[in-house]
Structure formats: structure tokens, C-alpha cells
Amino acid sequence: MNAWLRQHRQAAGAALRRLGVLNTAVIGVALSLPTGGYALLENLRGVAGRFALDTQISIFLQPGAKRADADALGKTLRADQRIAKVRFVPREQALKELSGVQGVAEVIAALGRNPLPDAFVVTPRDQDIGQLAGELAGLPGVAHVQADAAWARRLAALANIGRVAIWLLSALLGAGLAAVTFNTIRLQILTRRAEIEVSKLIGATDAFIRRPFYYLGLFQGAAGGIVALGIVAAGLGLLNREVRALAESYGSGFRFDFLGLGDALAVVVFAGLLGSLGAQLAVARQLREVEPG
């Protein structure tokens, strides 16, 4: 086997044997915060995205409106370039849909007549629907216009704030990871001072001496990333037990999904890179001080 490859394998092996459980756990717990936050946010974004797609404007006609008036309005709506889709909901159908909802059927029966107006549900092409909704309200025969996207937009804005917070947290804890690794490697260099000094005396190159420390930083970071993924998976599992009961009561199958493969891989890779960065800083700072003489 190639001598260079053998040296790398030996350095990696030595690094693996020096991998500390406690340090790995500390890094894992620290990283689980932004990782878990990211997982929750991705789930929330999924929900917000689903509603945002459905940005709709409901147009309710005056209760006494004739079907011919509705047809005329429908024509106007379909001709509007800003509107992608128009769906007409006759008052009879609306009543039928409403009767399906538990408890409402009795109320309607007690009323003895259909209190609902005809309605159009339109899907605008554009997300910014405030102006369009205003104009629609002014059309003849229109009693009331309801634009439902506002709260979806608020949810999306909230998710954006959350995302910024997650990035901040990631940056802070990433720096923390590098610092923890820096300290670990610094202590390793101090405890291996004799070995490093002897190695230098008998002709070890700087690269040879540094290599196990770089590997240690890399492995420790990556192992911390894996621990973080484990913590997040366990946490989401616990959450989902509660969420399922709640979601079922709303007739929803919602549950928190774990990170995708790409995201999970990215966590491990980034943690590893940050670890090796911390190791490089420590080695650059500390190793020159260990000179024989």
C-alpha cells in the first residue's frame, strides 16, 4: 500500500481512538438546538406554503341576486387578466356543504330557508391581492369580499423571522463548536507535548505531527453532528406522539417530519468542517510552541 495513504490511515486511526465521548456529547447537544429548530421550521414552512398556494378571494353576492346577475359577474371575473381561476358556488351547493359540518344541519333546519348567497371563489395570479380585493368589492351585485391570505402571509413572515433566528443560533453554536474543538485539541497538544517534542527530534514533519489533530477535530465535529441528529430524531418522535392526537381531533394527518437526507448530511459535514477548523486554529497556535531545545 502507498506510504502516504498508510500514514493518513494511521493518523485517522489514532484520532478515532482519542475521540472523547464527553466532548462529542457537548457538541451534539449544542448542535441539536439549531438542527431541531431548523427541522420544526421546515415543517412549518411546508404548512405555510400549502396555504399560500391557496391564496383565494371569496366574493359573496347580495342575497336577492338573480342567477343572471351572477352569470354576468362571472363573465367579468373570467375576463380579468389578474385572475387565474374562477369557481362559482351556487347557494344551494354552499348550503349542502355547510350541512355536512357537524351541528350546523340542525341550525339550518330551524331557519327553514337558505340564508346563504351565491358566491365566487377566485384565485388571483398575484400574491399581492389587497388592491384586487378592493376593486372586486366595487363590482355591481357584490355584497362582500373576503381575502383569506392575510393570515397565511403572517404565518410566512413568522416563519421568516424564525429562519433568521435559526441562522443566528447556528452561527453562534457553530462558533461554539469550533471553540470547543479548539480547546480539546489545545489540551491534546499539551498532554502530548513529550511525544510531539520527541517526534520533532527524530525527524517528523509538521504535516505528520498535525495530521492526527486535524482528523480528531473533523471526527469530533462529525460525531457531534450525528449525535445532534439523534437528539432531534428522538425529540420529534416524542412531539409527534402528542401532535398526532391533536391533529386527529382536527381530522388532520399532520406530523413533524425528520430532516431530509441532504439536510441531515449537511449537518454532519458542516459540523465536521467546523471541527477541523477549530483543530487547525489550535494546531497553528500551539504546535510552534512545542519546539525541542
Note the residues at the interface with another protein (CB under 8 A): 1, 3, 6-7, 10, 194-195, 197-206, 208, 292-293
Nearer of residues 183 and 205 to another protein, judged by Cβ? 205
Min dist CB 289 to another protein, Å, is 14
Cβ 192 vs Cβ 290: under 8 Å: no
State phi, psi for 251 to the nearest 5 degrees: 70, 25
Nearest distance from residue 17's CB to another protein, in Å?
Answer: 12
* Positive/negative CA dihedral, 40, 41, 42, 46: positive
Provide the minimum distance between the beta carbon of 239 and another protein in the complex, in angstroms, as a whole number: 46
Q: Residue 210 Cβ, how far from another protein at the closest point, in Å?
A: 12
Q: Which is nearer to another protein, 19 or 239 (CB)?
A: 19
What is the end-to-end Cα distance of the chain in Å, rounded?
36
Beta partners for 144? 60
Rg (CA), the chain: 31
How far is residue 32's CA from residue 24's CA, in Å, rounded to a whole number? 12
Residue 83: strand pairing partners: 124
Please, are residues 216 and 23 in contact by the beta-carbon 8 Å criterion?
A: no
3-state secondary structure of 212: helix
- Look at residues 220, 276, 197, 218 and name the one whose alpha carbon lies nearest to residue 25: 220
CB of 197 vs another protein, minimal distance in Å: 7
Burial of 272 (0-12, 13-18, 19+ CB in 10 A): buried
Measured from the CB atom, is 160 or 191 closer to another protein? 191
